[in-house]
Structure 1
Amino acid sequence: MSLRYLLAALLLILLTGCSLHRPQSVELPGNLPETFHQPQAQGMRPSPAQPWWTIFADPALDELINEAFAHNLDLAQALARLEQAEALRRTTGAARLPRLDLQGQTRREKSPGIFGEHTGTSYNLSLAAAYEVDLWQKLSKHERAADLDLRAAGADAQTLLLSLSARIADFYYLAAEQRSQRDLTDDNIAAFTDILQRVESRYRQGLVPALDVYQARQNLEAARARRPQYERGLAQAEHALAVLLGRYPGDLPTGTLMTLPAAPEAFPAGLPSELLAQRPDVSAALLRLEAADARIAAAVAERFPTFNLLAAYGYSRNAFITGDISGAFWNLILNAAQPLFDGGRRKAEVERNEALFRERLAAYHGSVIGAFQEVEDALAANFAGEEQIMHLEDQNRSTEAALRLALDRYLAGLADYLPVLAAQSAHVESQSLLLNARRRLISDRISLARALGGIWMAQELERHLTGITNQGIHQP
């Protein structure tokens, strides 16, 4: 009677399933702030479903980003990793299904007997099936972990799409700034050359000392010395762009931006509660944390008995000295195994996965806090950048007026050349700083858009996966 009760209890557990590990709850690192601390612009924030770079309304930038999405090698690696994760999920899920093998054997042998030697041929052919009963949900937890890893790989690819678009735009506008800096330097060289010629003319007339000529040449050569650094910066920016497009350095498409445009209007960051759902890197960290928890459950289940159903059906023919015996055969086996001693291997594996869970939990908390830091930093940079540009524009107007006045006084013979020299240096520096500040404000806009994330990356990733043929990969 007790044996029947035991079998009935085992059958009940088999039908309902049993998990030996309770999933661990995951909490955020403290309460989310209700608002961002840094000041932010008023107005309408771009839709998270809309690619962020459309705020620049630049068709050339659109083409570059689309080409990068098609040919970037880092993105190609991410898509290949996604394919690997999909294949691994299918491999892991296959362990939960029955296995069916076709087995065959033939042999010919010679053996002695009381009636003399006998030579005969024996063979058998059978179908063999095996199935592991997932009583403790070990296999299902392994499959869940693999599925979560696949989704995390998809989130990684979305993160790369977001960062790749930001890097393309950053280098695109950096190259535009370097061109503008180079053109500004050429204008200054032309202006300083004209001033030098006028000073030399006055020197030949005996109106000014030779010192004025040397000082005029000093400013001209300083301007000429600055030009190579902008050429170098432009070349490096264009090389970086080409590599991001999957090209060799120096192989850039035509239609580059020649002048630095004004930054687009500032946009608000929205609510902190919306941020985490739009950051794929945070989603990836959470998915890997959940996968680690599932692997704890699988490791715990490894310490409990395993049950395997084995079955075979086939036909055999065996040759004996007394004659051949042939016919069909079958067998059905229930195999149970309980680990008794393994040197602490299974226990250590549970502890390793628990430590991995704690590591992934810290990584998830770090990604959440880091996401908020990136938004706060970008907001602060945008606010400070706009204020800096306002002051630099005032400074540039002042240095331009000071240079004009100093030059007029010098040419009128009312002052020496030193005020002109100082005014020229101040105005050149002011112009260069203003250009740099305008480009950095564009970068700050890009950084804010990148920090806020979005949901357009999921659609872009789906488009890429649809284009992958012969694999059958799909976004989970």
Structure 2
Amino acid sequence: MTVFFRYYLLLTGIILGLVACSPFTPREISGAAGSLPETFALYNGSPDMSTPWWESVGSAELNRLIGDALAENFTLKEAWARLQQSRALAVQAGADRFPYLEGFAATDLSQRRIPSAGVDGSETYALGLFTSYEIDLWGRIRSQREAALETMAATGADFQTARMTIAAEVADRWVQLLSRRLQIQLLERQLENNLIFLDLIELRFRKAMVSALDVYQQKQVVENVRARIPLVEAQRQLLHHELAVLLGRPPRSQLKLSQTALPVIGLLPAVGLPADLLANRPDVRAAGMRLTASQWQVAAARANRLPSLQLTAGAQYGASAMDALFDTWLLNLAADLTAPLFDGGRRTAEVDRTRAQVDENLWIYRQAVLTAIKEVEDALESETRQREHIEGLDAVMMAARKGLEEAIQRYRRGLSDYLPVLTQLIAVQDLERDLIEQQETLIRYRIALYRSLGGAWIEDGIRSTEPDQSKKRG
């Protein structure tokens, strides 16, 4: 035991000397997000990100559809499975922080027949343990683990991004679908009114009060409206299919849609500051986490060029008879110090590769930040101008309807032919259809704004609908 004790003291001294080495850590990148504007063009206070944005729309139908999609959408289930894979990889990356221990047991039975002595045989048994452990001298194991944890967190942010996207897409399809239903109803009313006009003109024609040209012109208006209905109906059906698939259902499933009017949205919500997007947007957070993960990978690659120290120990017990199993034993303890001498530049190339990956992820992160800011600015500008456009269309509609009334009165009194009536009728009906489309566009711009702002509701929704969504340290 004296020799073993001396060996143990020597090994301990070597280990303590090497452990004093400084491990590699990532270098901090100052201003990774780049230059950010102080405010948005239409800054109006700090937003409330604690509740789902679609609740502000005030539609129980929309709330139900989005809730179903967040629970059943297949894309979200794919993203959730990827998150589980990432968590398992993080656990694997952290396993080397602990000693590896395995046990073994063996038995051997042999017999032989000797003519003069009969049957001769022997039995041997062995039982033992083996353990190994690498001392993380330069932080390689820690760096690999931290890189895996950051990658896992980025995958979790990807899942949040998918939730944000699915919610916005469901709302967008729902608004478009509702708009098509209203357009079909409007076209049917227009067709009915145009048929009434046609009957009146045919009556005047039979009394020789108007020419056949007036009849043909009105028939053209009737057939034009009638021809539009199948196209809008096809759009409605295709949107129904898309919405059903977003809910994880077959395309022609019954969705129980009963709302009869487009939602009325209020004034622009508070949008906060551009810097808020770094925390509120999950896609931006994911890009930042992947940047941090690549920095840890550089630290791991640098540490991999230096010597590594592996400790191994084993204990084995054995005997020729079971009752004497623990009478004999064998114990060994070893330390292996290995250092790369020549590898053709492989480890150095790996350091260069991971550093280049940091540069790549840095620009990806900055691009994600700029894109997020741009999307908010685009949505703000689009909604503001769209409101102005709708106000202008309302004014045009008022003038067009008054013009139609005047044209009809002049036509009835015989002061003009049917062309002014026809012109005003077509203008009014086109404006009616256009107003529905523009109201739809306004609501879709608001959805795009909510989507571009992100929000804390995403993480809250994950914790309430998925098991164990907390970030695990493997």
What is the TM-score with the length of structure 2 in the denominator?
0.90
Larger CA deviation: 97-106 vs 357-366? 97-106
CA RMSD of aligned residues (A): 2.5
The aligned residue for residue 340 of structure 2 is 339
Q: 1:418 to 1:50 in 2, by over 3 A?
A: same
Does structure 1 residue 295 correspond to structure 2 residue 300?
Answer: no
- What is the deviation of 1:67? 0.7
The aligned residue for residue 447 of structure 1 is 448
Indicate the SS of the match to 1:95.
helix
In the TM superposition, what are the counterparts of 1:1-400 in structure 2 within 5 Å? 8=13, 11-14=16-19, 16=20, 18-37=22-41, 39=42, 46-107=47-108, 120-317=122-319, 327-400=328-401
Contact persistence 1:21–1:300 (CA under 8 A): no
Q: 1:280 to 1:259 in 2, by over 3 A?
A: same
Q: Which amino acid aligns with 1:334?
A: A
Q: 1:30 to 1:153 in 2, by over 3 A?
A: closer
Q: Which amino acid aligns with 2:236?
A: L
Larger CA deviation: 406-415 vs 294-303? 406-415
- What is the deviation of 1:79? 1.1
User: Distance between the aligned counterparts of 1:187 and 1:426, measured in 2?
Assistant: 16
User: Distance between the aligned counterparts of 1:416 and 1:260, measured in 2?
Assistant: 38
Q: 1:325 to 1:275 in 2, by over 3 A?
A: closer
User: Distance between the aligned counterparts of 2:102 and 2:12, measured in 1?
Assistant: 29
The aligned residue for residue 115 of structure 1 is none
Does structure 1 residue 474 correspond to structure 2 residue 470?
Answer: yes
Instruction: List per-residue Cα deviations over 1:62-87 (Å, max 9, x = no partner).
Output: 11111111111111111111111111
- What is the deviation of 1:48? 0.7
Q: Structure 1: 5+ residue runs without aligned partners? A: 112-117, 467-471
- What is the deviation of 1:413? 1.5
User: Distance between the aligned counterparts of 1:208 and 1:371, measured in 2?
Assistant: 62
Instruction: List per-residue Cα deviations over 1:180-227 (Å, max 9, x = no partner).
Output: 111111111011000001111111111111111100000010011111
User: Distance between the aligned counterparts of 1:9 and 1:335, measured in 2?
Assistant: 11
Indicate the SS of the match to 2:97.
coil
Q: 1:22 to 1:151 in 2, by over 3 A?
A: closer
- What is the deviation of 1:252? 3.3
The aligned residue for residue 469 of structure 1 is none
Q: How many residues align?
A: 456
Question: What percentage of aligned pairs have identical amino acids?
Answer: 35
Contact persistence 1:308–1:334 (CA under 8 A): yes
- What is the deviation of 1:302? 1.2
Instruction: List per-residue Cα deviations over 1:369-423 (Å, max 9, x = no partner).
Output: 0010001100100111110000011111111111222122222221111112211
Contact persistence 2:83–2:152 (CA under 8 A): yes
The aligned residue for residue 432 of structure 1 is 433
Q: Structure 2: 5+ residue runs without aligned partners? A: 1-8, 113-119
Q: 1:70 to 1:401 in 2, by over 3 A?
A: same
User: Distance between the aligned counterparts of 1:341 and 1:299, measured in 2?
Assistant: 16
Q: Which amino acid aligns with 1:308?
A: Q
Instruction: List per-residue Cα deviations over 1:82-127 (Å, max 9, x = no partner).
Output: 111111111111121101111233446799xxxxxx9754442210
User: Distance between the aligned counterparts of 2:461 and 2:139, measured in 1?
Assistant: 36
Q: Which amino acid aligns with 2:363?
A: A
- What is the deviation of 1:272? 2.1
Larger CA deviation: 358-367 vs 246-255? 246-255
Q: Which amino acid aligns with 1:156?
A: D
